[in-house]
Structure 1
Amino acid sequence: MKENQISTGRFIDGKEIFAVELTNSLGSKVKIYNYGAIVSEFIVKNGHGEQQDVILGFNDIDGYLNEDYLAEYPYLGVIVGRYSNRIKDGKYSIDGKDYQMEQSLHGGVAGFDKKVWDILPTIDPSLTLQYISPAGEESFPGNLTVQLTFKLSDEDELILDYKAVTDAPTPINLTHHSYFNLNKNGGNVGDHHLRMPASNYLEQDANYVVTGKLIPVEGTIHDFLGGKKIGQDWDPKEGYDQSYVLDKPYGHLGLAAEATEASSGLKLEVYTTEPVAHFYTSKYLNTADSKDHKGYKPFEAFCVETQHYPNGINVSEFPTTILRPGETYAQTTIFKLSH
C-alpha cells in the first residue's frame, strides 16, 4: 500500500484541507479528505477487469462545501460523531446529571463530519486522522480525543480503526456514512442482492428513534438472513432506514452485511466489531451534482452504518455508550471488495 497527500488549496478556520490517496498492489485506490474524514473514492477492478468507483461523492472538495449540497446534506462518505443516529428528544443523563442537546441527526449541527482533522504521522502506509472535540461542543461533556486510521490492504479491504479517550464521562457512538452502488452505471440499488446475519431489528418510533424493543426479522420485510434482492420486499417509496442487531458475539469482528451486483460482478462484505448495522437505502438522497454531474436521486445507493445501539444511552438494557476517563473506545470496521 502506498499513500499520496495532496493539498486542495482550501482552508476552514485556518486549517488546510488535504486529499490523501491510498493505493495497493492490485491497482485499487481510496481517496480520503481530512475534512470530515470523507471517503470520496474507492476504485477497484470489477468482474470484467474494469476500474470502477463504488462510492458516491464529488470530483473535488468543492462539491462537499457547496451550499446547495449542504442545504440537503446527506452526509456523503463522512464520519459521524460524537453520537451517530438519533438520541430521543436530544436528552440523556450521566451519573444523575441531565443534558440537552439540539435535536438533530448524527451528532449535532456541526458534528465531526464538518471538522478539519489533523493528519498524524504514521510508520506504515496508512492514514491516521485526529480530532480533539472540546468539552461543551454540541452540548457534549468532556474533552474527547478521537483517532481514525484508514488502511487499504492488498485484498481490497478498506480497514477503519477507531480509538477515543476522554477526560470526563461522555456519550460516544461513531460510524462512517459511505454510500455504495456496485453497478458501474449507478441507478436504483433495488436489484442489488443483500445478506445480513441479523435475526432481530430494532423497533423505531415515528421519528425513527429506537425504542429499546427487539423484533424478530422472521416473516417481515427485514429478513435478509438467507439473502434477497434489496427491492424484493421494500416499499419503493420508503426503502430501508433500519437498525439490525448482528448475530455475533459482542465486540467480536464478524460479518455485518454482504452485497452483490450481477452486472459488475462485484461483492461488498462489511465486517465490524460493533453490535449493530444500520441499513439505509438513501430515501433522502437528492443532489444536483455528482462525479458524473448527473446528480444523485433517492435509492441510488445503500449505506451499512456499523455502530452501537442507537439511542442506547437512554435504554438501560442496551450496552453502554458512555466512555469514561481511563477507558479507551475502540472499534474496527472493514469494507472488503471482491469479484
Structure 2
Amino acid sequence: MLTSTALAPDGQPFNLAELRNAQGMVVRFMDWGATWISAQIPQADGHLREAILSCGSPERYLQQSAYLGATVGRYANRIRQAYLTALDCQLTRNQGPHQLHGGPEGFSHRRWQQVVHTDKTLVYRLHSADGDQGFPGNLDIELTLTLSDANRLDFCFSAQSDALTPLSLTNHAYFNLDGAQGDIRAHRLALHGSSFQPVDTDGLPDGDCLPVADTAFDFRSPKSLAQDFLADNFQQITGGYDHAFIIDAHTIDQPVATLSAADGRLKMDLFSSEPALQLYTGNYLSGTPASEGEYNNYQGVALEPGYRPDAANDTPLAGCWLPAGEIRQICFGYHFISA
C-alpha cells in the first residue's frame, strides 16, 4: 500500500484514502490534486491487476508534469493565449502563451478537503476564489467518488459559482490494462465519436472538426491503437493521438469508449456526461516517475472526458460556461470487467 511521511507543498502531510468493494477491487486516492493513485482489479485467477500508472509514492507526483491521475480544472485542456474573449479576461499562462489544465496552480496542484470516507465512498471539496489563475467567480466544487460491487468507479462533481465562468473538470488517469504495463499501443479501443478536432503544434484547434470516417481516427469499431498510429499528419504533429473526439448522442448508461488489454483479460467501459473525450496516448511520458524507475512514451493512455480545447472561446458561448448561481453536475465512470 502506498504510504508517505513526506510533506506536500503546503507543508502538511499527504492524506491517502482507500475504497474497497466486495469483489476485492481496491482504488486509492490522495487529497493533493484529488489524485487517483491506484486501481487494482481482481482477476479470474485471484490476482489483482493494476490498471493505472502510478508514481509510486505521493512525493514523486510532485516531480512530474504529466498530470498522472490528477483531477484537473478549472478548465481541463487548453485555452488559446490564456484569454477569455467573451469576458476580456486574461488568465495565468503555463504553456507558453496559453493556459493548460487550469493554470500553473490549477486544481491538480491544490489540496482538496476530504469530508467523507467510507468503504465505498469518498467525498472531496475545493474552493476556488475569484481570480484564481485569472478565472472569474468564487467556485465551490464537491467531488463524490463511489466504488460499486460491480467494479465500477464513478466520479460525480457538483459545482457552483457566483459569476459566469468556464468550467471543464476531468481526471487525468493514464490507463494500462496489461499486467506488465508495457507499451499500450497493443490495447484495443472503441470510441463512439464520429468527428475529431485537428490541432496545431500547441494542441489548439486548427480548423473545424472533421469526420472520422476513412481516417486513422475512426474507432467506432474496435481496433488496436497501433493499427493507424502516426499514419497521418494530424498525429505526426502531436507525436501520436492527442485529440478531442466529439461524442455521439448517448444516454448516461451507454459507454462512450471501451479499452481492452492486449491479452484480453481486462477491459474498461467509460461512461460520461460530457460532450467530448480527449484521447492521449502518452506521447511525452518519457521520464515521468514510476513506482520503479521511469515511464517511457506510450506506456499509458489517457481518456479525458470534457470539452474540446479552447471551447471556452467558441461563439456563441459553449456549454462549458457555468452561469452564476447554477449548480452543474459533471459525471463519468469506469467499469472494469475481467475475463
CA distance in 2, matches of 1:88, 1:288: 26
Q: Deviations over 1:73-132 (max 9, x none)?
A: 1110001100111111111134x5433431232110111001111011368841111110
Pair 1:24–1:275, CA change in 2 (3 A): same
CA distance in 2, matches of 1:5, 1:179: 18
CA distance in 2, matches of 1:146, 1:328: 10
Q: Which of 169, 176, 180 is the equivalent residue of 1:174?
A: 169
The structural deviation recorded for 1:6 is 7.7
Q: Which of 24, 28, 44 is the equivalent residue of 2:25?
A: 28
Are 1:119 and 2:110 counterparts? no
User: CA contact under 8 A between 1:255 and 1:270: conserved in structure 2?
Assistant: yes
Q: Deviations over 1:286-314 (max 9, x none)?
A: 236312x1320000110100002321111
CA distance in 2, matches of 1:100, 1:140: 6
Report the equivalent of 2:136.
141
CA distance in 2, matches of 1:27, 1:124: 12
The structural deviation recorded for 1:212 is 6.2
Q: Which of 184, 187, 209 is the equivalent residue of 1:189?
A: 184
Report the equivalent of 1:243.
244
Secondary structure of the equivalent of 1:204? coil
Are 1:326 and 2:325 counterparts? yes
CA distance in 1, matches of 2:11, 2:289: 27
User: CA contact under 8 A between 1:8 and 1:19: conserved in structure 2?
Assistant: no
Deviates more, 1:210-219 or 1:182-191: 210-219
Deviates more, 1:171-180 or 1:11-20: 11-20
- In the superposition, the TM-score normalised over structure 2's length comes to 0.90
The structural deviation recorded for 1:62 is 1.8
More strand by share: 1
CA distance in 2, matches of 1:63, 1:5: 12
Q: Which of 36, 39, 56 is the equivalent residue of 1:39?
A: 36
Q: Which of 134, 156, 174 is the equivalent residue of 1:161?
A: 156
The structural deviation recorded for 1:167 is 1.2
Q: Which of 86, 90, 99 is the equivalent residue of 2:90?
A: 99
Secondary structure of the equivalent of 1:63? helix
For residue 137 of structure 2, what is the amino acid of its counterpart?
G
User: CA contact under 8 A between 1:254 and 1:273: conserved in structure 2?
Assistant: no
**Structure 1 unpaired stretches of 5+:** none
Secondary structure of the equivalent of 1:270? strand
CA distance in 2, matches of 1:328, 1:211: 32
User: CA contact under 8 A between 1:135 and 1:142: conserved in structure 2?
Assistant: yes
Secondary structure of the equivalent of 2:312? helix
Deviates more, 1:232-241 or 1:148-157: 232-241
Secondary structure of the equivalent of 2:256? strand
For residue 273 of structure 2, what is the amino acid of its counterpart?
T
**Structure 2 unpaired stretches of 5+:** none
CA RMSD of aligned residues (A): 2.2
- In the superposition, the TM-score normalised over structure 1's length comes to 0.90
The structural deviation recorded for 1:262 is 3.7
For residue 38 of structure 1, what is the amino acid of its counterpart?
T
For residue 331 of structure 1, what is the amino acid of its counterpart?
I
Number of aligned positions between the proteins: 328
Report the equivalent of 1:254.
254
Percent sequence identity is: 29
